[in-house]
Amino acid sequence: MQPKLDLDTYARLLAKFAADSSARESLLMTHSLTEDDWEEIDEYWQDRLAEDGETEDEMNPLITRFSEVFTETQLQLAGVELELDRYVEILRQVQGGRELHKVLADERVPLNDYLKAHAHWTKRSLESSEIREDLQAKLSEPRSSRRRSQA
């Protein structure tokens, strides 16, 4: 049996259902699916994801892809609360030896916001040499010049 949705679309829909369960019916309608269709699709992909395709060296590629798409969708839905400069300031303090939980408490940044920002800026720096260079420049900038430029 071929599923009515590919793995990426399935993962995106699951992430959207998790973010807002009240949108389930409208999301299914958008994809011309009934609840029965969804149950078949869900069963199909859950069975495929449960198959043991792992080797000693790598995870099941379906699980890897599902995780990537699901996480990416969650990040897109959640938004990023920390701008690059604020994220860099937290990173600098941690790299300077402070404990992350203390830095976050002092900066009044919830751990969840930091983790979302970390995933966002890490991904962006891997995709864009401009962002990567900007991030590296900000991290290597002397603290005193950063303080003066922000004043």
Domain final residue, candidates 78, 111, 128: 78
Q: What is the DSSP letter of 108?
A: T
pLDDT category at 147 given cuts 50, 70, 90 is: very low
Is 2 within a domain?
Answer: no
- Tell me if 14 sits within 8 A of 6, measured CB to CB: no
Whether residues 70 and 88 fall in one domain: no
Summarised one tens digit per residue, pLDDT across range 21-31 is 899 999 999 99
Q: What is the secondary structure of 40-74 as a DSSP string?
A: HHHHHHHHHHHS----SS---HHHHHHHHHHHHHH
Give yes or no: residues 98 and 132 share one domain: yes
Are 139 and 107 within one domain? yes
Residue 138 lies in a domain: yes
- Express each pLDDT in 35-71 by its tens digit: 999 999 999 999 999 886 666 667 778 998 999 899 8
Report whether 15 contacts 77 (CB < 8 A): yes
Q: What is the pLDDT of residue 21?
A: 85
pLDDT in tens, 62-96: 998 999 899 888 877 876 678 888 999 999 999 99
**Dihedral sign for Cα atoms in the order 124, 27, 30, 81:** negative
62 and 32 in a single domain? The answer is yes
- pTM metric for this prediction: 0.55
- Predicted confidence at residue 5, as pLDDT, reads 94
Tell me the percentage of the chain whose pLDDT exceeds 70: 88
Return the closest-CA partner of residue 73 out of 143, 14, 30.
14
DSSP secondary structure of 130-145: HHHHHHHHHHHS-HHH
Q: Given a cut of 50, is residue 151 above it in pLDDT?
A: no
Domain of residue 32 covers: 7-78
Whole-number Cα distances in Å, 16 to 6, 64, 135: 16, 19, 30
